[in-house]
Chains A and B, each alone.
Chain A
Amino acid sequence: MTAMNHCYAKRRSALADFLSTLKRLIIKELRVEFRSRGMIGTALSFTVSSVIMAGIGYGGFLKDIHTAAVLFWIIALFSAMTPVSHLFIREEEEGTIGVLRIRFRSDAVFLSKLICGMLFVLLSLLVMAPLYVAFFNIYVADAALFVAVILAGGSAAACASAFAGALASRAGGKSALFAVLSIPAVLPVLIVSVSGTIRALSGAAGGWGDAAFCLCYGAVMAAVSVWLYEKIWMEE
């Protein structure tokens, strides 16, 4: 009796199957990353050391809101892009992508990596933001908006850079190529997040629109990336 025969006995909906697959893939990602510890440690130490270096270099109160927002997002975006690319690159480097290709659909694999990547990104941003505010003695006028922009901008950056990570891993160019590929996609996030952060720090209106834009942009990028990932799924 083959698996097909056996599967006929079950009447599960396609959606339930997909969600179960997604759950198992996410659990696998979390287990592998926490046990190898490479990526989390590197991402967090990069974030923290960047903030420390900037703080030492500046050495005081950062009163110019515009500079504060831009500096924050430069560091935040590079921190955000690292985990996502790492998830794809590690799979190719260790050769485990074969198991995924033979057993799972491309959209399930991509979404699982995207979701895990977003979780790591948000984690590192939530560590970074309080450090940043403390080191630069920044006054945040609208704290709720500040958090919302960070979460929305971080997820948008993760969604925008996921496909670049997948491409870089397939192309063998790894991290350097990934940075170059992801910059055009991440540009809109940078511009809008800086704008939203300025409004959050100064208390000006309109910042929630910036956060909403980031969420929509992230969603569209994720959808486009899922479709494109299937096109590069097979080896050439």
Chain B
Amino acid sequence: MTLYIITAVSLCIASVLAFAVAPPEKFLGESSRLIYIHVPLAFSAVLSFILSGVFSARYLVSPREMDEIHFHNAAVLGIFFTVLTAVTGAAWAHIAWGVWWNWDPRETSILFLLAVYSAYFALASSTGGRSARYRASYLLFAAAVMPFFVFVAPRIYPSLHPDTLINAKRTVKLIGSMRLALFVSMASYALLTLSLFDFANRVSLLERKSSQGE
């Protein structure tokens, strides 16, 4: 319960910082505030992916029902955040650059995640009840592919993605209040991810207990 309260409070603080305190960016204007939504969503998507990978590995090493619930719910959250990231990113790209999609490494990585989750749910619906091992092994397999996108990236078209956060000089090119708003947003979205994860796990556990009780 404390987790949910802290999450709610941090989301409120983040919203205030993002929409009231931080100034609009010079060239993009008010639409630049999408950074406080789009970037944390991407962060949540990657966090969910990592969670699903970790719990899949745990399940394969030593099968436990809780780990199965965990990796499945992490995958559900993952596809939710990935779709939102892609949609907010496309909207912002259209506003800022006039194109919906321009195939740079970050966008392609998000599409990759989307492909992984679509495949995961196709596998889940194809196999039904006894498929926990198959689903876990697929998530781990996808996790093994993910790092290669770092090496693949230079071979994709040059990026329109601003290098505000991830760049060679390892500095954050944002002024103080914007930086604060962004990091608070990212932290609050991380808490949101964990809250939703915890909530989904509780629901799944209750569902299992009631179906086994029948």
Contacts and interface: CB of A to CB of B under 8 A. Distances in A.
Interface of A: 160, 163-164, 167, 170-173, 177, 180-181, 183-185, 187-188, 191-192, 195, 210, 213, 217, 220-221, 224-225, 228, 231-232, 236
Given A163-B141, A221-B145, A225-B141, A181 B119 contact: yes
Contacts of A220: 144, 148
Given A188-B145, A191-B152, A228-B60, 11 more contacts: A163-B141, A172-B126, A180-B122, A184-B112, A184-B115, A184-B142, A184-B145, A187-B108, A210-B155, A213-B151, A236-B130
A191 B156 contact: yes
B14 interface: no
A172 B127 contact: yes
A171 B123 contact: yes
Contacts of A228: 60, 137, 140-141
A46 B187 CA distance: 51
A167 B60 contact: no
A48 B51 CA distance: 44
A228 B144 CA distance: 11
Nearest to B121: A180
B118 A236 contact: no
Nearest to B151: A213
Contacts of B60: 228, 231
A185 B122 CA distance: 15
A181 B138 CA distance: 8
A188 B127 contact: no
B182 interface: no
B138 A167 contact: yes
Contact of A167 (B108, B137, B151): B137
Interface in B79-120: 108, 112, 115-116, 118-119
